[in-house]
Every structure is written in C-alpha cells, then in structure tokens.
Structure 1
C-alpha cells in the first residue's frame, strides 16, 4: 500500500475515489507490466483498506483484474531422471533425490520425514501433515526399499530420516538444493532444474504409464482434480501417436 499512497502523495486517502484507483492501475501497475499475482494482491489490499479502515465503498468491479498466467509444469525424461539419480556416489544424496522422484514429494515433505514414515511391510511411505495439513501415503517399490535399507544401515538416522551434520537436526533446504545442483553437473544436464521438477516428472510419467488421474491426485495430495489435470498438457504419449502432415510431403 505504500506504493499506492506514494502515487497519490498530493491527496489524502479520504479524497481518493474509484476513478483515481483506475488511473493508478493503468498508469502504474499495467505500465510497469507487473505480475498478475502482484496486481491481484494490490487490488485486494486497496479493497480491504477502503472497505474496512476507511469504510468507504470502492467499486472494485471497475478495476481490471488480470488472469493468472497458465504455465505448464517442467518435466524431465526418464533418461534424464535416471542420469540425475545415478550421478551421486554418496548414498544419502542418491536416496534423497530418489525418494523425491519415486514418491512425488515436495522438498519440505522430504525434509520433514522421520524414520517411522517408512512402512516396509506394507510397502508405503506415510507423509504426515503435508500441504493443506493432510496425511497421505505413497507406494514404495522393492527397488526403492532396498536403497533405503542400505542408507539406513549406513547412516542410522534417529530423529529425522535425513539428518544434517548436527545430531538430531533435519537436512537443510540449502544443502538439498546443492545436492541437486551437483547431480545436474555430473549428469551434464544444462537445464534450470529445481527439486519440484522431479515431482512434476513423477506425475507425468505416471500418467504416461496409464495411471488414472484420480490416483495421481491422491498420490500428489492435490485438493482439486483441476490441479492434477495440468499434467495431461505435458504428457507426450498421445502426441507421439499423431502423424504430422509434414511426413506426407
């Protein structure tokens, strides 16, 4: 709101009307090509200030609200994923990256795991209080369980499944980012890959292997099926069956 009041520094807040807000939107927000999320946050802040603090009615409907950009998730091929996961000799580093991809985990979910989260008898991973304060489970393949058993025997984690250098402290986000960065260098992948790309790749590869979207939604912990449906736009399985008219020339 400080930017808004600086724009109208020659006016008292009580003097600002709906036409002034439209001018601010056009001459400041739209001219500077600020992001849609910033624009929406500013409109909401203006509405809150004038509606509650000044108890002055402002017709927000007349202010342009931009549509959010519809960006597609970034996805890696299975070959690229394999190269990343096999790049580390360090067993802990390989186990962390493998678990993120194999269970579609968010970074925070991985770092919050405790050793008890692994149920080897049932072959599942219990993800407690994930985003939205919801628990969920993800299947653990025998191949992944073998890797995790090797890791557990070597590192014997106590409080957290993946602990930092200090005893009983979780592995840090910064260190985990560094683990991925090193893997990309070793795998010779020159893309701006983030840890979330592994989660996107997991969902897309599940879809391409024929897994129902409803199951993928549960595995990822999405509230809405619309969030999960975005992966249908990045899956190449159906596209590969389309014959280009170029081939008939």
Structure 2
C-alpha cells in the first residue's frame, strides 16, 4: 500500500465513512491512477475532466454512475491532498429525474404469493411492511424485533443512523412462523456462510424469480417494495413528515417525490375538463353506400 493510499484510508476512517464507501473510494482512485499510469499527486483538473469523458463515452456509464467517482476524487484532492479546488474542477453531470415504478396492492399480493421459500418470502414481506432498504433487512438481528413495543430497530442504516419502524401485527405472525421453522440465533436471516447474514444478491435473485413467476410486467427489485411502502402510506393519508421519519430520509424533499406518484394526490384531483358544460361527441360521417 502506497503512503498516499494509506493516508487517504486514514482520513476516511477519521471521518467515520462506512466501510463500503472507503472501499469504493479506494477503487475509484486506483482506476483513475492506472488509467494515466501516474500517481494521483501528479494529476489535476484536466486529467479529471478527461477521465470523466472516458467513463461517459468509452465505458458508457450513466450520469448517475459517476457519483462515486467524483466523490472519491473530491475527497482525495480536497481532504487528503488539501488542494484548493472548486466544484467546477469536479463536474458532476445532471442526473435525469425518474419517478419510481409503484406496485399496486394487488400486484404486491401476487408477488408475495409467487415467492416459494418461507425465508425469502419473510424477508421480502419485512422489507415491504417496514419500508426497509435491502441492506437494512438483511442485517436485522433477532433482538431487533421488539414485540413488546411493536417496533423494529434498524441499526446503523444509511448514513449510519439508527431508527425505529413499526412492527406490523400481521408481520409479527409471519416472523413467528418463520422463527419456529428456522430458529435463527443472531442474524434474523442468516446466510450460507456461518455467522454471516444472507447477502443482498441472494435477496435480489429471489425477488427476480418471484417477479417472473408472478407474470407482473413491471420491474421489481427489493427497493421497489420500499417505494410501494411509502406510496401506499401516502395514499392511505399518512403525513409526509411521518413517512420521512419511517423511511430514514435526511431531506423531506426526498420523501415528497412520492406525492408525484400517489393516486391520492393525482387521481383525486379533478381535471378542469370535468368542469366544462356537457359537449355532445362528434358524430362520425355516414358510411358511403355499398354498390357491390
């Protein structure tokens, strides 16, 4: 390990960045350095610009995929190397705004019925019932289920924040059936490796297989269940601020995007077309006579 890499690693550890972020940043800087075959200390804004163009045009990365690269380079040059560079030296492409695809209650039911494994069905039901990220649901421990207070404790979710979410009575029944069948000890959903939880990739595979079995044409990922959780709460009249707390969003604007897909805010709004006086439909012209 080079002294610069070690120093950057120490800087990230001091600032308590997650292990995944540390690993991602080191990989990004390493790829950047290997591309130019020089130490990052000898590279500057022009090389950063050329690298981003290479990633977009040669590797065909989407704008949203460049975030980790720019974050890593900003950290390296501003924090570790203390270069007085501005945001313009790290151009971040504008990401297209896309609304989440939301499953209806009927589609959620059909999807769950298509999950054959009790364990996988319980995982996906927990993700939907509590609005959890896949990384949060796979890292649940048995002790995180508090049936006395009817809450689920989410330990160190995104941005290393703890929070509580509701424990659905129906979900508690399902969790008890699962517990009597699997008898998990530490991790609520243990993986194939002893002492480790199930992986996110295993949950994603089960999710994709269930979508194929259900025949639902909409794309479904574990995160789709989180989108459905927030949207269905909003449609049932839950306050946006409360949904923000349950979802663990830092910004209310992140939660407010579900207003754009909730039927309670779209379909219940009358179109001005309905206020117009009744207009008779245009009659089609008479058919020409037939001569043969």
* Residue 101 (str. 1) matches residue 128 (str. 2): yes
Alpha-carbon distance between aligned partners in 1 of 2:146 and 2:140, rounded to the nearest angstrom: 12
Alpha-carbon separation, structure 1, partners of 2:184 and 2:134: 18
Q: What residue number does 2:141 align with?
A: 114
CA–CA distance in structure 2, aligned partners of residues 118 and 129 of structure 1: 15
Match of 1:174 among 195, 198, 201: 201
Structure 1 position 118, deviation (Å): 0.8
Question: Relative to structure 2, which stretch is displaced further, 62-71 or 87-96?
Answer: 62-71
Match of 2:156, SS? Answer: strand
Name the residue aligned to 2:260. 233
- Following superposition, the deviation at residue 169 of structure 1 comes to 2.7
The answer (yes or no) to whether the contact 2:189–2:198 under 8 Å persists in 1 is yes
1:181 and 1:98 mapped to 2: Cα distance? Answer: 15
Deviation at 1:62, TM superposition (A): 9.0
**Residue deviations 1:7-33 (CA, integer Å, cap 9, x gap):** xxxxxx79x8x8x78x96998788778
Aligned to 2:108: 81
| Distance in 1 (alpha carbons) for counterparts of 2:124 and 2:36 | 47
* 1:164 Cα offset (Å): 2.1
Larger radius of gyration: 2
8 Å contact from structure 1 (residues 47, 60) kept in 2: no
1:155 paired residue number: 182
Deviation at 1:69, TM superposition (A): 2.2
Q: 2:231 aligns with which of 170, 187, 204?
A: 204
Give the secondary structure class of the aligned counterpart of 1:170.
Answer: coil
For residue 131 of structure 1, report the CA deviation from its aligned partner. 1.0
Q: Is the 8 A contact 1:29 1:39 kept in 2?
A: no
Bigger relative contact order, structure 1 or 2 (CA pairs below 8 A, ≥6 apart): 1
Task: Extract unaligned runs of 5+ from structure 2.
Answer: 1-31, 282-292
Q: Which residue number corresponds to residue 70 of structure 1?
A: 97
What is aligned with 2:290?
none
> Is 1:158–1:168's contact at 8 Å kept on the other side of the alignment?
no
Q: Deviations over 1:132-181 (max 9, x none)?
A: 11111111121111111111111110111011244433112222112112
Deviations 1:19-66 (A, max 9, x none): x78x969987887786445389559948975999696x8776599754
Quote the Cα distance in structure 2 between the aligned partners of 1:88 and 1:26. Answer: 41
SS of 2:202 mapped into structure 1: helix
Q: Is the CA contact (8 Å cut-off) linking 1:113 and 1:161 kept in structure 2?
A: yes
Cα pair distance change 1:199/1:30, threshold 3 Å? closer
| 2:251 pairs with 1:224 | yes
Q: Matched residues in 2 for 1:40 and 1:175: separation?
A: 24
**Structure 1 SS opposite 2:175:** helix
User: Matches of 2:224 and 2:196 in 1, distance apart?
Assistant: 26
